[in-house]
């Protein structure tokens, strides 16, 4: 029988490094981003219940997929989110206060109170505003990628969507255009098993969602979305393929939405406690925490401090955003036309007059 003893590596041969592996020194930062995302997620659910924000769509359970992707792309790449990609925005550098300003719609909101909560937009982070209609970001990402192609700009665009969006018209249109024109696009489907209350099994007979890419002439891959390293690898490989001119890739990151679809949803009406408990055992934060503890990258006290620091950051950001005045009502007249029309000026004069107490003189 052959010996199974391990052989020490030759010290003269440098260890091989895989360019698609998440660097070990990035694992702890990745965990910090995931914890911060979970911390703000927990508080935002509570803020909505307390009436301090109007709406929120949580991402609990999808942190590894989002952080892994955000770390694998470049700052010049453009992100086209759905409405649950908060961890992507934070990892790319969006501040907690800018997120909370948008959720509260105060006068520091970068979208000036003109977007639904959770529809963040951060130009500096190349993070495009979300839209409520399902799937529209898919065709937008492909169009932006086609423009980059023509400019010979070596970037990629990433379209984020859920399993439900694969049933949308925009999914077909975007995937088909991307395949035909070989656009530098990464389609990242976070298959969280439920399109609000519709289970994945009632959406398609396809064995996987990723295999739908075959029909459009480019690869589709399935990864464990609770493993930050697996997502990082898949996105890094897809990005290299895209900038090399080999076209798009669809990645199906299999995750689970541990919380409600939004603060308007009650998931207990359509899924069992047993199902949720099963997936909680695969919580991406618990998984990465265990790996870091086992590797000695952090100890229990250090982990506790990471959580305490994250929650303190979130609390400070909430306090700061709540101190900021709301948007002025007459802000609705700004940015409508570069030169206000007579009709718009008349509407503003009427508004100013009606806004005065007791019908005071203009």
Contact 115, 129 (CB under 8 A): yes
Answer for the pair 159, 141: CB distance below 8 angstroms, yes or no.
yes
Q: Which of 233, 239, 241, 257 is catalytic?
A: 257
Residue 298 DSSP symbol:
S
- Which one of the listed residues 49, 74, 270, 349 is annotated catalytic? 270
**232 catalytic per annotation:** no
Catalytic residue among 43, 126, 241, 261: 261
Token pair recorded at residue 100: 């909370």
Residue 211, classified by CB atoms within 10 Å of its CB into exposed (0-12), middle (13-18) or buried (19+), is middle
Distance CA(148)–CA(157), nearest Å, equals 9
- Nearest residue to 282 via CA among 235, 232, 236, 228: 228
Compute the distance between CA of residue 122 and CA of residue 111 in angstroms, rounded to an integer: 9
Answer yes or no: are the C-beta atoms of 118 and 56 closer than 8 Å: yes
Do β-strands 249-254 and 185-191 pair in parallel, antiparallel, or remain unpaired? parallel
358 is catalytic: no
Catalytic site includes residue 261:
yes
Tell the residue number behind the tokens 């396809």, with chain if given.
206
Neighbours of 139 (CB within 10 A): 22
The rounded distance, in Å, linking the Cα atoms of 53 and 46 is 9
Give the span between the Cα atoms of 269 and 151, in whole angstroms. Answer: 50
Helices (H) and strands (E) in the chain, counts: 11, 7
Distance of alpha carbon 317 from alpha carbon 267, whole angstroms: 29
Catalytic residues: 257, 261, 270
């Amino acid at each position: 029988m052959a010996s199974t003893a391990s052989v020490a590596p030759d010290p003269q041969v440098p260890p091989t490094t895989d360019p698609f592996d998440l660097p070990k020194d990035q694992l702890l930062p990745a965990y910090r981003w995931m914890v911060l995302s979970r911390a703000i997620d927990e508080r935002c659910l509570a803020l909505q219940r307390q009436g301090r924000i109007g709406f929120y769509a949580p991402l609990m359970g999808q942190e590894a997929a989002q952080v892994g992707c955000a770390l694998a792309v470049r700052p010049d790449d453009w992100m086209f989110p759905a409405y649950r990609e908060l961890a992507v925005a934070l990892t790319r550098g969006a501040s907690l206060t800018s997120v909370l300003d948008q959720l509260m719609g105060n006068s520091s909101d970068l979208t000036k109170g003109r977007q639904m909560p959770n529809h963040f937009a951060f130009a500096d982070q190349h993070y495009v505003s979300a839209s409520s209609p399902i799937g529209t970001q898919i065709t937008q990402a492909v169009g932006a990628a086609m423009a980059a192609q023509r400019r010979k700009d070596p970037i990629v665009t990433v379209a984020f969507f859920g399993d439900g969006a694969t049933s949308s018209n925009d999914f077909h249109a975007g995937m088909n255009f991307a395949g035909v024109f070989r656009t530098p696009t990464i389609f990242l489907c976070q298959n969280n098993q439920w399109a609000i209350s519709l289970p994945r099994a009632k959406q398609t007979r396809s064995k996987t969602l990723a295999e739908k890419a075959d029909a459009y002439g480019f690869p589709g891959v399935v990864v464990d979305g609770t493993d930050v390293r697996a997502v990082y690898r898949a996105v890094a490989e897809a990005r290299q393929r895209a900038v090399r001119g080999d076209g798009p890739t669809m990645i199906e990151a299999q995750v689970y939405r541990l919380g409600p679809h939004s603060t308007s949803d009650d998931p207990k009406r359509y899924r069992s406690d047993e199902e949720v408990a099963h997936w909680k055992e695969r919580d991406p934060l618990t998984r990465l925490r265990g790996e870091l503890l086992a590797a000695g990258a952090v100890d229990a006290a250090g982990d506790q401090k990471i959580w305490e620091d994250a929650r303190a950051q979130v609390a400070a950001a909430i306090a700061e955003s709540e101190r900021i005045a709301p948007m002025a009502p007459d802000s609705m007249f700004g940015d409508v036309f570069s030169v206000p029309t007579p009709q718009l000026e008349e509407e503003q004069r009427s508004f100013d007059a009606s806004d005065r107490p007791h019908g005071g003189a203009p």
